[in-house]
Amino acid sequence: MDGPTPTAPPIGDHGLLGGTRTAVLVAGDGTIDWCCLPGFDGTPVFASLIGGPAAGRFRMGPALPAGPPARRYRGNTATLETTWATGSGRLVLTEAMVAEVTGQLLPATLLVRRLSARDAPVTAVIDFDPRLGEHHRRPRTRRGPGLVCDFGRLALALDSDPPLEIIPARPAMITVEPGRPVILVLAAAYGEPLVRIDPAGSWDLVAADEARWERWADEIHEDLPYRHAVVRSLLTLRLLTYSPSGAPVAAPTTSLPEQPGGIRNWDYRYTWPRDASIGVRTFLRSGKPLEAERFLGWLLHASRLDRPRLPALLTLTGCRVPVERTLTAWPGYAGSTPVRTGNAAAGQHQLDGYGWVLDAAWTYERAGHRLNSETWRAMRAFADTVALRWHEPDAGIWEIRDDAAHHVHSKLMGWLALDRALRLGRTHRLGEPRRRRWSAARRDLAEQIRTSGFAPDRGCYTRAYGSADLDAALLVLPVLGFEPPGSTRARATVDAIRTELSAGGPLLHRYPPGRDGLPGGEGAFLPCSFWLVQALASTGRRPEAVDLFEELLERSTVLGLYGEEMDPATGEHLGNFPQALTHAALVDAALTLRDTAPEGPSRSWRPGTGRDPW
């Protein structure tokens, strides 16, 4: 698999800054090359990552060539620090988006970037070039004081301390003196008054936000193994949650390729109830019930127009996802076209989503909370749909854009939906005819899975009825309760997937490459590797699970982030980035290691430190 071209920074080279409404990606040279406004699924304003130089960027960094930067997040916060060694001095870029703006006279989107020099003066460059949307529209500008860029309903204000003359698309050279940092503050407004912030006091806002993030992290359970990696993943999941509605976005990007130069480029700037439900479980089991409550509230609102059908994905405000289309003039990441907006998977029937959602609701109740009557009505409607439609083929968890099939994983999750609904029905109002209908459907579905989804000649469950192919999604089998975790069938299925879908080392393909009706290939699917950790730990092979988990932690970026996929040959992260499902799977795996551990101290881990002593 070919890597990215020299002009495209590696996908995993990026850091994430987030304000819980939108997010930006920052490359290692200090370039913001992806940002949509006013929300995650809004219009791109800096998009050179997939749109080329004409799509806009915002760079702050050394003017002269420098060595590879040192990068880190400051503690358990969302503040990113990048340091370059340049000749006799060092240049440090510290930057953050302010997440907590409710109840304050602050812009909904506020980005603060600070350059400081150490040891000696350093020449730096500031290249501010916002371009709006598909056709890279330049703004109308006005100066004094600072700079205002007007795109109509969207406006940006850039202010600096000390005052600088910044002209869009004209790089400015400055000298940064030790002890005299340069601060730039970017504020955005969409259809509302543009609030501008005094740059001299903006760092106090960042410091207050850092304190809030540290308090948020302190509330996460102390007994989590590999706590540093888990907290960073939970922080990432929180940064990818749209705070006005509580909806988590699958990823903040569109069209980052699963194979550089290929066509597997999708728009992930929406909410998949399946992925979000997995995140709900991780938050609940980590000591964060509020995030789960907010998602369930969003789901109740978002699904109202389609109920009893559960859409495969929705917008962050609970609307239907735009029709998928191609941006024809965009070159794509490393020549990967088409560049897409919208997502055609929104129209698919995906049975497995019902299971994830009902399992999240059941986990919420098991954690000591209670569904309100309206949420329970929604869950009943979803269970009714499963009882009615489980006989039908579906697109499956991998959203195959080919003929629908009877995917075994989908059937298992349909069984889970009915099982969890019946469990919830023990403490909620449930009529006896409906209970009998659900019970009969659960029994019949289980019998069909065990006969049609199992290949006796292989001794394991397969990808679809009548298929000999395997599916890494079946790694969830040992944790569902459908089979005893240590059953012969469960262990054989895990072993077969681990062997036959291996992509080398700890990596797995999600199904046999080339078996999805699309041309070209793709990388190894990272969530599957973390599901394998869960499966091994749940089937009594915890030492193997620990070794695998530690190998996967070493595959993170230096900032502890993960994409959707990974190139097995190069270790490069692929697909939209960072990927919420991967981070949720990481946390789930760590929680399973905690729950299967002998009594003793938890492990601690940081990127690049290697194995820990037990």
pLDDT per position as a tens digit, 91-119: 999 999 998 766 677 888 999 999 999 99
Q: Tally the domains of the chain.
A: 2
Give the pLDDT confidence score for residue 516 in this predicted structure. 82
- Which residue, 196, 215, 250, sits at the end of a domain? 196
- Which residue, 181, 196, 211, sits at the end of a domain? 196
Token pair for 561: 């982030």
Give the pLDDT confidence score for residue 485 in this predicted structure. 86
Encoded amino acid at 223, one letter:
D
Distances (CA, A) of 339 to 101, 131, 245, 270, 579: 33, 17, 27, 16, 18
Whether residues 140 and 233 fall in one domain: no
Whether residues 183 and 258 fall in one domain: no
Count, residues in the chain: 614
- Which residue, 157, 181, 196, sits at the end of a domain? 196
Torsion sign, CA atoms 490, 491, 497, 500: negative
Cβ neighbours of residue 552 under 8 Å, at least 6 residues apart?
Answer: 506, 526, 529, 530, 533, 586
Residue 1: inside a domain: no
Residue ranges in the chain whose pLDDT is less than 50: 1-6, 600-614
Distances (CA, A) of 330 to 7, 54, 55: 15, 9, 9
Residue 417 to residue 388: CA distance in whole angstroms = 12
Give the pLDDT confidence score for residue 613 in this predicted structure. 21
The CATH number given to whatever domain includes residue 557 is: 1.50.10.10
Residue 109 main-chain phi, psi, to 5 deg: -120, 120
The 8 Å CB, 24+ separation contacts for 137-144 are 138/168, 138/169, 139/168, 141/167, 141/168
Whether residues 95 and 144 fall in one domain: yes
Encoded amino acid at 146, one letter:
G
Give the pLDDT confidence score for residue 479 in this predicted structure. 93
Residue 327: inside a domain: yes
Give the pLDDT confidence score for residue 6 in this predicted structure. 44
Give the range of the structural domain holding residue 299, as residue numbers without chain letter. 225-595
Whether residues 154 and 237 fall in one domain: no
Let me know how many helices (H) and strands (E) the chain has, helices first.
14, 26
Residue 496: inside a domain: yes
- Closest C-alpha to 556, from 541, 547, 548, 566: 566
- Strands, DSSP E only, in 469-586? 502-504, 507-508, 524-525, 565-566, 573-574
Give the pLDDT confidence score for residue 602 in this predicted structure. 45
Give the pLDDT confidence score for residue 604 in this predicted structure. 43
Residue 526 main-chain phi, psi, to 5 deg: -65, -40
Residue 608 main-chain phi, psi, to 5 deg: 85, 0
Residue 12: inside a domain: no
Say how many C-beta atoms besides its own lie within 10 A of residue 22's C-beta.
25
Packing angle of the helix pair 408-424, 373-389 (nearest 10 deg):
140
Whether residues 169 and 258 fall in one domain: no
Whether residues 368 and 293 fall in one domain: yes
Residue 212: inside a domain: no
Give pTM, 2 decimals: 0.95
Name the one residue in this structure whose structure tokens are 């962050």.
316
Cβ neighbours of residue 364 under 8 Å, at least 6 residues apart?
Answer: 280, 284, 289, 292, 293, 296, 371
Residue 152: inside a domain: yes
Residue 48: its H or E element = helix 48-51
Whether residues 357 and 461 fall in one domain: yes
Whether residues 258 and 185 fall in one domain: no
- Closest C-alpha to 298, from 324, 322, 327, 270: 270
3-class DSSP state of 88 = coil
Residue 320 to residue 538: CA distance in whole angstroms = 38
The 8 Å CB, 24+ separation contacts for 164-169 are 164/126, 166/126, 166/128, 167/141, 168/128, 168/129, 168/130, 168/138, 168/139, 168/141, 169/129, 169/138
Distances (CA, A) of 228 to 95, 599, 607: 21, 20, 9
Report the C-alpha dihedral over residues 471, 1, 36, 13, rounded to 10 degrees: 110
Whether residues 235 and 89 fall in one domain: no
Whether residues 183 and 267 fall in one domain: no
Token pair for 599: 């009594």
Residue 4: inside a domain: no
Torsion sign, CA atoms 130, 133, 135, 138: negative
Residue 206: inside a domain: no
- The bridge status of strand 454-455 relative to strand 140-143 is unpaired
Burial annotation 550-567 (CB, 10 A radius, 16+ → b, else e): bebbebbbbbbbbbbbbb
Give the pLDDT confidence score for residue 147 in this predicted structure. 96
- The bridge status of strand 89-97 relative to strand 502-504 is unpaired
Whether residues 130 and 237 fall in one domain: no
Whether residues 134 and 279 fall in one domain: no
